[in-house]
Amino acid sequence: MNLSTMILKMSEGLGNTCAIFFLTLLFSLPLGMVFALLRMSKSRIVSSVMRFIISILRGTPLMLQLLAVTYGPYYLFKDTLDGIGVAQNKLIPVVIAFAINYAAYFAEIYRGGIESMPIGQYEAANVLGYTKMQTFMHIILPQVVKRIMPSITNEVVTLVKDTSIAFCVSYQELFTIGKMIANSETSFTPFLIAGVFYFVFNAIVDLVMGRIEKRLDYYK
């Protein structure tokens, strides 16, 4: 197999890699905010339970979580999953595992940003007659987003590379296809091609996130 054929074949898996990436962000970013708010709940029970869940998600390997989400339900609900076609579509468990895992990391980033806000911001909003929801949405959240953007960018860049973990459940993303070609051709070239793909992908992500940060400079 020549170089151009390898690149063409591996580019087919790039679409699945992008699907994992964008769907994970789509679900994990808002879910992370939900986790953060539950973690900051005034109820000790809710806060403690959420803290425990986040600790589990951050303290165990993503690969282990991916295997559990992908194959665990199959053994418990085999007939049900076969009936609705979930067992055949591995993108569903892959996105679920990635979204939940990254939501835990985003939750701690959000929490750190929210708790870093001076108490005076809340007091001033209260004097102006803002409700708690209005204060959070119009005053606190915009400033928090600006503060946490570097940390969010770091996690997003990590996500690009972590998509390769989907190979452990044989999902046909970029790295999986590259590994299959490398085994069949007994060549390291596919891994080098995959490395270039990931590097370019990350460069684009870093550029986009950098521009978003600049757009938020007016919150200084």
Interval 76-100: pLDDT, tens: 766 555 544 544 578 889 999 999 9
Interval 199-219: pLDDT, tens: 999 999 999 998 888 887 754
Quote the CA–CA distance of 31 and 135 in Å, as a whole number. 21
Least confident of 19-23, 100-104, 144-148, 202-206: 144-148
Query: Residue 46: its pLDDT value, please?
Result: 94
144 pLDDT tier (thresholds 50, 70, 90)? confident
Query: Residue 131: its pLDDT value, please?
Result: 84
Instruction: Determine the average pLDDT of the residues in 150-156.
Output: 92
Query: Residue 30: its pLDDT value, please?
Result: 95
Instruction: Determine the average pLDDT of the residues in 41-60.
Output: 94
22 pLDDT tier (thresholds 50, 70, 90)? very high
Quote the CA–CA distance of 2 and 180 in Å, as a whole number. 15
Structure tokens at 72: 């665990």
Residue pair 187/149 in contact by the 8 Å Cβ criterion = no
**pTM for the full model?**
0.88
CB atoms within 10 A of CB 69: 19
